[in-house]
Chain A
């Protein structure tokens, strides 16, 4: 009996509600993890672009947040793959993508672009922190009584220094050049990476909502927007924690202070850095937001104007079924409101952060509306499907593709960042650093 019941569980059935005429095999197959996947890759790409603004275009004012954004985008990297893995029906075979790349498939090429990108980010971090790594090796080597953490860090630094111990002026200068080069190279690759995520959807010709060449561009713009917004929010939060910890001398919350063995920066200074960086960054956020919103609205107008056969079904989904999600949550709360908040003069740090949180929400809703909205109608355009996010899991599938899986993906980068921050202090204040 148990076996019989288990056999009846069809992938997608647990969260799909069908209405009117829907083909027997149609379900919402791409659920929350596929919403998370372009969202997370978008964050990675966006954070990297933010960090490159300083390195490539010498936007001096973004110096502090640039280093942070770089380390944070590295922490986000492994998480960008996580939703894909969580969503595969055969996760252990994920490696097949690299073993038998099938180049007519967008997902297949994605693996290669992703690896290239990961190498660029890793290399850039290495060059940015090389001086620090070498200094740390010396400092920790000379120290007599190393703490547990320090004796753990020493071998790590020794390994990642890759034996390049030269920190003469010339060597550092060429480091600097390398950083600049990698940051510049990283921008197109980051855009490509995310454009590819858009291509995965845009190239599905069977799906009327996804099938547009604009998809990759729309994805890139909103990716940069979400990446910058996340950097603002998380930077703000981490700085708050640092201020709180600095006041009380709680070093365990200041991994970089722990790692550097130094004392924390005074609270006042922290506050002014935080304010400066948050406000400056939100200016750039505004620019990219304008581009992203314009493109999305253009796409919608174009579809309505040309109104091909599928428009009848699309209109139903956009204006009726998903009205709240698209116009209220995505455009209203996620775009329009933060736009106003950022535009009104006298921007305070707090207002910038609230606006950024709304932007993050808006971009998430955009991903949701694309991925879930795209599957909301049957291929015959005769019926509709509704996706119900599984909240309480009753098996591994409803966990992975439900709220639990979603939260794991959201929190993972912060956990990774916490440890990464010990090795590469993202808030390091070093005037000579790049």
Chain B
């Protein structure tokens, strides 16, 4: 073969290969899942009602097969203690799986610390979970499209396709993602998609004795969650990242990040 021919053949091959590569994967999950324009899932957390019992965390772990002893969790509860001098001390021992049973705050390597009662200005609990962002950073960065968004706004991970690069874990501004200790793929809250898509409630909302957590349809004006989001003063976490979260908080302090 002459060199010119060789070059030509190579060019043809490369061009052909790239065409076939680009032909792959142009079906977006939005098209795959029967689009339902009347449905967009949203979540409401009422921090006034949360007492830090951790029932939600426990229920989530059991429901979603996250090893109970593992130090990762799909949802957790944070405790905030704000001192009169403005200092903030927070903790979330084991994600508050067992609730908050002591006044000592877990500062990890720095050990346990106690804030004397007369120094406390306010103290409260804040449950956290995946925000199922409208423009999710995790979906944007996933190199294989294993993390995707359904038409009704839920962000899911395809366990059979995730390569475990951790890019989405780095990309999420809320630190909700982790590697599943058994499956060895990226994992996070799914809004219990397997339940809600059949008309059920999320495991955490069901387990909460005080109704601090609620899931609902943001597009239905009669839905209690949609009504709260419309009529009450609600806040979202880290708005500045432009992810447009869909978890709304009632009574959100500025100290909560």
Which A residues are closer than 8 A to B by beta carbons? 4, 7-13, 17-27, 29-30, 84, 87-91, 93-94, 96-102, 104-108, 111, 119, 162-164, 166, 171, 174, 200, 203-207, 378-383, 386
* A96 contacts B95, C-beta separation under 8 Å: no
Nearest residue (CB) in B for A162 is B6
Q: Least Cβ distance of A7 to chain B in Å?
A: 4
Q: Is the interface of A mostly helix, strand, loop or mixed?
A: loop
CB 8 Å contact bits of B161-187 with A (1 = contact, 0 = none)? 111111101111111111101101100
Q: Least Cβ distance of A84 to chain B in Å?
A: 8
Q: Which residues of A contact B181 (CB under 8 A)?
A: 7-11
Q: Least Cβ distance of B175 to chain A in Å?
A: 4
* B143 contacts A108, C-beta separation under 8 Å: yes
Q: Does B21 contact A (CB under 8 A)?
A: yes
Interface size class on chain B is 35 or more
Bound Cα distance from A30 to B141, whole angstroms: 15
* A102 contacts B143, C-beta separation under 8 Å: yes
* B76 contacts A206, C-beta separation under 8 Å: no
Indicate whether A90 sits within 8 Å of B71 (C-beta atoms), given known contacts A21-B90, A206-B171. Answer: no
Indicate whether A17 sits within 8 Å of B109 (C-beta atoms), given known contacts A10-B71, A88-B164. Answer: yes
Q: Is the interface of B mostly helix, strand, loop or mixed?
A: loop
Which B residues are closer than 8 A to A by beta carbons? 1-3, 6, 14, 21, 24-25, 67, 69-73, 76, 88-92, 94-95, 107-110, 128, 137, 139-146, 161-167, 169-179, 181-182, 184-185, 241-242, 257
Q: Least Cβ distance of A293 to chain B in Å?
A: 27
Q: Least Cβ distance of B10 to chain A in Å?
A: 9
Find B257's partner among A7, A108, A380 (CB 8 Å cutoff): A380
Q: Which residues of A contact B1 (CB under 8 A)?
A: 162-164
Q: Least Cβ distance of B159 to chain A in Å?
A: 10
* A25 contacts B167, C-beta separation under 8 Å: no
Q: Which residues of A contact B172 (CB under 8 A)?
A: 206
Bound Cα distance from A94 to B95, whole angstroms: 32
Q: Which residues of A contact B141 (CB under 8 A)?
A: 104-107, 203-204
12 other A-B residue contacts (CB within 8 Å) besides A7-B67, A8-B70: A10-B181, A19-B109, A21-B90, A24-B92, A25-B177, A89-B162, A89-B166, A102-B25, A203-B141, A204-B170, A206-B172, A379-B173
Nearest residue (CB) in A for B177 is A25
Bound Cα distance from A343 to B63, whole angstroms: 65
Nearest residue (CB) in A for B107 is A20
* A4 contacts B88, C-beta separation under 8 Å: no
Indicate whether A383 sits within 8 Å of B176 (C-beta atoms), given known contacts A97-B143, A171-B3. Answer: no
Nearest residue (CB) in B for A99 is B24
Q: Which residues of A contact B173 (CB under 8 A)?
A: 205-206, 379
* A107 contacts B165, C-beta separation under 8 Å: yes
* B67 contacts A8, C-beta separation under 8 Å: yes
Q: Which residues of A contact B169 (CB under 8 A)?
A: 29
By CB atoms of chain B within 10 A, which of A19, A25, A101, A380 has the most? A25
Q: List 12 A-B contacts (CB under 8 A).
A: A7-B70, A20-B108, A90-B163, A90-B185, A107-B167, A205-B173, A205-B242, A206-B172, A379-B173, A379-B174, A382-B88, A382-B257
Q: Least Cβ distance of B166 to chain A in Å?
A: 5
Q: Which residues of B contact A205 (CB under 8 A)?
A: 137, 171, 173, 241-242
Bound Cα distance from A17 to B109, whole angstroms: 7
Bound Cα distance from A88 to B76, whole angstroms: 27
Q: Which residues of A contact B170 (CB under 8 A)?
A: 29-30, 204, 206-207
Find A105's partner among B90, B94, B167, B178 (CB 8 Å cutoff): B167
Q: Which residues of B contact A9 (CB under 8 A)?
A: 70, 181
Bound Cα distance from A378 to B94, whole angstroms: 16
* A100 contacts B24, C-beta separation under 8 Å: yes
Indicate whether A100 sits within 8 Å of B144 (C-beta atoms), given known contacts A29-B166, A163-B1. Answer: yes
Indicate whether A89 sits within 8 Å of B175 (C-beta atoms), given known contacts A107-B143, A108-B144. Answer: no
* A18 contacts B109, C-beta separation under 8 Å: yes
Bound Cα distance from A94 to B163, whole angstroms: 6
* B108 contacts A96, C-beta separation under 8 Å: no
Bound Cα distance from A162 to B8, whole angstroms: 13
Q: Least Cβ distance of A134 to chain B in Å?
A: 11
Bound Cα distance from A42 to B65, whole angstroms: 41
